[in-house]
A = this chain, B = another copy of it.
Protein backbone atom coordinates (compact mmCIF):
# COMPACT_ATOMS: atom_id res chain seq x y z
CA UNK A 1 0.00 0.00 0.00
CA UNK A 2 1.60 3.28 -1.06
CA UNK A 3 1.19 5.61 1.84
CA UNK A 4 4.08 7.84 2.61
CA UNK A 5 2.75 10.82 0.65
CA UNK A 6 1.08 13.09 3.21
CA UNK A 7 -2.50 12.21 4.06
CA UNK A 8 -3.54 9.64 1.54
CA UNK A 9 -5.99 6.83 1.86
CA UNK A 10 -8.76 8.47 3.83
CA UNK A 11 -8.46 12.20 3.32
CA UNK A 12 -11.43 13.10 5.47
CA UNK A 13 -10.66 10.79 8.35
CA UNK A 14 -9.30 11.85 11.71
CA UNK A 15 -5.86 11.42 10.23
CA UNK A 16 -6.15 14.48 7.99
CA UNK A 17 -5.25 16.60 11.02
CA UNK A 18 -1.80 15.04 10.92
CA UNK A 19 1.37 17.08 10.83
CA UNK A 20 4.23 14.63 10.45
CA UNK A 21 4.13 13.65 6.81
CA UNK A 22 6.69 11.42 5.10
CA UNK A 23 7.24 9.31 8.17
CA UNK A 24 6.11 5.77 8.93
CA UNK A 25 2.40 5.40 9.40
CA UNK A 26 2.75 4.23 12.99
CA UNK A 27 4.80 7.33 13.79
CA UNK A 28 2.05 9.51 12.40
CA UNK A 29 -0.46 7.59 14.51
CA UNK A 30 1.78 8.06 17.51
CA UNK A 31 1.80 11.79 16.82
CA UNK A 32 -1.97 11.87 16.68
CA UNK A 33 -2.24 9.97 19.94
CA UNK A 34 0.19 12.43 21.50
CA UNK A 35 -1.96 15.34 20.33
CA UNK A 36 -5.02 13.74 21.89
CA UNK A 37 -3.15 13.23 25.15
CA UNK A 38 -1.88 16.79 25.13
CA UNK A 39 -5.33 18.13 24.28
CA UNK A 40 -6.68 16.20 27.26
CA UNK A 41 -9.03 14.05 25.22
CA UNK A 42 -8.13 11.21 27.60
CA UNK A 43 -7.25 12.18 31.18
CA UNK A 44 -4.49 10.62 33.31
CA UNK A 45 -5.68 7.34 34.77
CA UNK A 46 -8.40 6.87 32.16
CA UNK A 47 -8.43 4.18 29.50
CA UNK A 48 -7.90 5.19 25.90
CA UNK A 49 -10.03 3.52 23.19
CA UNK A 50 -9.20 -0.09 22.37
CA UNK A 51 -6.72 -0.89 19.63
CA UNK A 52 -9.49 -1.95 17.26
CA UNK A 53 -11.41 1.27 17.83
CA UNK A 54 -8.33 3.35 17.17
CA UNK A 55 -7.53 1.30 14.09
CA UNK A 56 -11.03 2.04 12.78
CA UNK A 57 -10.77 5.72 13.66
CA UNK A 58 -7.43 6.15 11.88
CA UNK A 59 -8.20 3.73 9.06
CA UNK A 60 -5.15 1.57 9.67
CA UNK A 61 -4.65 -2.00 10.85
CA UNK A 62 -4.58 -2.98 14.48
CA UNK A 63 -0.89 -3.86 14.14
CA UNK A 64 -0.02 -0.32 13.19
CA UNK A 65 -1.90 1.16 16.12
CA UNK A 66 -0.23 -1.43 18.31
CA UNK A 67 3.22 -0.32 17.28
CA UNK A 68 2.39 3.32 18.00
CA UNK A 69 1.04 2.39 21.43
CA UNK A 70 4.06 0.16 22.07
CA UNK A 71 6.36 3.14 21.75
CA UNK A 72 4.21 5.36 23.96
CA UNK A 73 4.10 2.58 26.55
CA UNK A 74 7.89 2.22 26.37
CA UNK A 75 8.15 5.94 27.12
CA UNK A 76 5.79 5.52 30.08
CA UNK A 77 3.14 7.80 28.61
CA UNK A 78 0.70 4.92 28.40
CA UNK A 79 0.26 1.82 30.48
CA UNK A 80 -1.05 -1.44 29.06
CA UNK A 81 -3.02 -3.79 31.24
CA UNK A 82 -3.91 -7.11 29.71
CA UNK A 83 -7.59 -7.82 29.59
CA UNK A 84 -8.47 -4.30 30.75
CA UNK A 85 -7.20 -1.80 28.25
CA UNK A 86 -4.53 0.85 27.77
CA UNK A 87 -4.39 3.69 30.28
CA UNK A 88 -2.96 7.18 30.41
CA UNK A 89 -0.02 7.26 32.80
CA UNK A 90 -0.55 9.18 36.03
CA UNK A 91 1.52 10.28 38.99
CA UNK A 92 -1.26 9.16 41.31
CA UNK A 93 -1.09 5.42 42.10
CA UNK A 94 1.30 4.03 44.69
CA UNK A 95 3.22 2.09 42.05
CA UNK A 96 4.58 5.12 40.20
CA UNK A 97 4.69 7.71 42.95
CA UNK A 98 8.23 9.05 43.16
CA UNK A 99 8.62 7.99 39.56
CA UNK A 100 11.25 10.72 39.16
CA UNK A 101 12.86 10.44 42.59
CA UNK A 102 15.95 8.29 42.46
CA UNK A 103 17.00 8.75 46.07
CA UNK A 104 16.88 5.37 47.77
CA UNK A 105 17.49 4.22 51.35
CA UNK A 106 20.77 2.29 51.76
CA UNK A 107 18.85 -0.51 53.46
CA UNK A 108 15.88 -1.26 51.25
CA UNK A 109 13.25 -0.24 53.83
CA UNK A 110 10.77 2.23 52.38
CA UNK A 111 10.90 5.31 54.63
CA UNK A 112 8.05 7.39 55.99
CA UNK A 113 8.11 10.68 54.15
CA UNK A 114 6.88 14.13 55.02
CA UNK A 115 6.96 17.51 53.33
CA UNK A 116 7.16 21.01 54.82
CA UNK A 117 6.68 24.09 52.66
CA UNK A 118 9.12 26.84 53.55
CA UNK A 119 8.02 29.38 51.02
CA UNK A 120 5.65 30.00 48.13
CA UNK A 121 5.90 33.28 46.26
CA UNK A 122 5.31 34.74 42.83
CA UNK A 123 8.19 36.69 41.32
CA UNK A 124 9.55 37.80 37.98
CA UNK A 125 11.56 35.01 36.44
CA UNK A 126 15.31 35.17 37.12
CA UNK A 127 17.27 35.04 33.87
CA UNK A 128 18.53 31.46 34.28
CA UNK A 129 15.10 30.09 35.20
CA UNK A 130 13.45 32.00 32.36
CA UNK A 131 15.90 30.48 29.91
CA UNK A 132 15.28 26.94 31.14
CA UNK A 133 11.49 27.36 31.06
CA UNK A 134 11.37 29.15 27.68
CA UNK A 135 9.97 32.29 29.29
CA UNK A 136 10.87 35.97 29.12
CA UNK A 137 12.33 37.60 32.20
CA UNK A 138 9.22 39.76 32.43
CA UNK A 139 7.06 36.67 32.94
CA UNK A 140 5.98 35.64 36.41
CA UNK A 141 7.02 32.36 37.99
CA UNK A 142 6.02 30.57 41.15
CA UNK A 143 8.91 29.81 43.46
CA UNK A 144 8.46 27.03 45.99
CA UNK A 145 10.87 25.97 48.67
CA UNK A 146 10.33 22.91 50.78
CA UNK A 147 11.97 20.28 52.95
CA UNK A 148 11.32 16.60 52.43
CA UNK A 149 11.96 14.39 55.43
CA UNK A 150 12.39 10.64 55.46
CA UNK A 151 11.79 8.86 58.75
CA UNK A 152 11.66 12.24 60.51
CA UNK A 153 15.11 13.24 59.15
CA UNK A 154 15.33 16.29 56.84
CA UNK A 155 16.86 14.89 53.67
CA UNK A 156 15.96 17.00 50.65
CA UNK A 157 15.88 20.77 50.29
CA UNK A 158 13.98 21.65 47.11
CA UNK A 159 13.86 24.95 45.27
CA UNK A 160 11.14 24.73 42.64
CA UNK A 161 10.22 27.11 39.81
CA UNK A 162 7.01 26.95 37.79
CA UNK A 163 5.56 29.12 35.01
CA UNK A 164 3.14 31.51 36.73
CA UNK A 165 0.71 31.64 33.81
CA UNK A 166 0.03 27.91 34.06
CA UNK A 167 0.10 27.52 37.81
CA UNK A 168 -2.44 30.18 38.79
CA UNK A 169 -3.96 29.70 42.19
CA UNK A 170 -1.05 27.71 43.57
CA UNK A 171 -0.60 29.04 47.11
CA UNK A 172 1.18 28.05 50.29
CA UNK A 173 -2.27 27.38 51.69
CA UNK A 174 -3.41 24.93 49.04
CA UNK A 175 -0.05 23.19 49.28
CA UNK A 176 -0.16 22.89 53.05
CA UNK A 177 -3.45 21.02 52.83
CA UNK A 178 -2.17 18.64 50.15
CA UNK A 179 -0.69 15.23 50.84
CA UNK A 180 1.14 13.29 48.16
CA UNK A 181 3.54 13.92 45.30
CA UNK A 182 3.61 17.40 43.79
CA UNK A 183 3.44 15.93 40.31
CA UNK A 184 0.10 14.34 41.14
CA UNK A 185 -1.17 17.73 42.30
CA UNK A 186 0.05 19.38 39.10
CA UNK A 187 -1.85 16.77 37.15
CA UNK A 188 -5.23 17.04 38.85
CA UNK A 189 -5.23 20.74 39.70
CA UNK A 190 -3.43 22.31 36.75
CA UNK A 191 -3.70 19.72 33.98
CA UNK A 192 0.06 19.47 33.68
CA UNK A 193 1.42 15.94 33.19
CA UNK A 194 5.15 15.60 33.62
CA UNK A 195 6.37 13.03 31.20
CA UNK A 196 10.12 13.22 31.16
CA UNK A 197 12.93 15.00 33.02
CA UNK A 198 16.61 15.77 32.64
CA UNK A 199 18.93 15.99 35.63
CA UNK A 200 22.37 17.47 36.15
CA UNK A 201 24.09 16.25 39.27
CA UNK A 202 27.05 17.66 41.19
CA UNK A 203 28.59 17.46 44.64
CA UNK A 204 28.57 20.69 46.63
CA UNK A 205 29.26 21.95 50.16
CA UNK A 206 26.35 23.06 52.32
CA UNK A 207 26.13 26.81 52.90
CA UNK A 208 25.08 28.03 56.34
CA UNK A 209 21.45 28.48 55.29
CA UNK A 210 21.27 25.08 53.69
CA UNK A 211 22.97 23.41 56.65
CA UNK A 212 20.45 25.02 59.01
CA UNK A 213 17.48 23.93 56.93
CA UNK A 214 18.73 20.35 56.67
CA UNK A 215 20.02 20.20 60.26
CA UNK A 216 23.53 19.22 59.26
CA UNK A 217 26.98 20.71 59.74
CA UNK A 218 28.22 23.64 57.69
CA UNK A 219 30.08 22.51 54.57
CA UNK A 220 28.71 18.97 54.65
CA UNK A 221 28.82 17.39 51.21
CA UNK A 222 25.47 17.46 49.44
CA UNK A 223 24.19 16.05 46.18
CA UNK A 224 22.92 18.90 44.03
CA UNK A 225 20.33 17.77 41.52
CA UNK A 226 19.05 20.24 38.94
CA UNK A 227 16.01 18.88 37.20
CA UNK A 228 14.03 20.23 34.27
CA UNK A 229 10.70 18.44 33.76
CA UNK A 230 8.77 18.35 30.51
CA UNK A 231 5.11 17.83 29.51
CA UNK A 232 3.79 16.33 26.33
CA UNK A 233 5.25 18.46 23.55
CA UNK A 234 8.64 18.49 25.27
CA UNK A 235 7.63 21.78 26.81
CA UNK A 236 9.65 22.54 29.96
CA UNK A 237 7.27 23.10 32.86
CA UNK A 238 9.37 22.93 36.00
CA UNK A 239 12.86 23.65 37.20
CA UNK A 240 13.75 21.96 40.44
CA UNK A 241 17.01 22.38 42.30
CA UNK A 242 17.35 19.76 44.99
CA UNK A 243 19.99 19.28 47.65
CA UNK A 244 20.12 15.70 48.91
CA UNK A 245 21.72 14.48 52.13
CA UNK A 246 23.33 11.20 51.12
CA UNK A 247 24.62 9.59 54.26
CA UNK A 248 21.76 7.13 54.70
CA UNK A 249 20.40 7.45 51.15
CA UNK A 250 21.93 7.23 47.72
CA UNK A 251 20.96 8.24 44.22
CA UNK A 252 20.30 5.07 42.26
CA UNK A 253 20.80 4.80 38.54
CA UNK A 254 20.78 2.04 35.94
CA UNK A 255 22.93 2.16 32.83
CA UNK A 256 22.09 0.28 29.66
Contact = CB atoms under 8 A, between A and B. Distances in A.
Contacts of A200: 250-253
**Main SS of the interface on chain A?**
strand
Interface stretch (A20-28, A132-140, A154-162, A219-227): A219-227
A244 B102 CA distance: 19
A196 interface: yes
A76 B255 CA distance: 10
A198 B254 CA distance: 5
Interface stretch (A42-50, A114-122, A202-210): A202-210
Given A75-B256, A256-B76, A221 B198 contact: no
A121 B10 CA distance: 70
Nearest to A196: B256
Contact of A250 (B99, B202, B250): B202
Contacts of A219: 219
A246 interface: yes
B202 A246 contact: yes
A204 B203 contact: yes
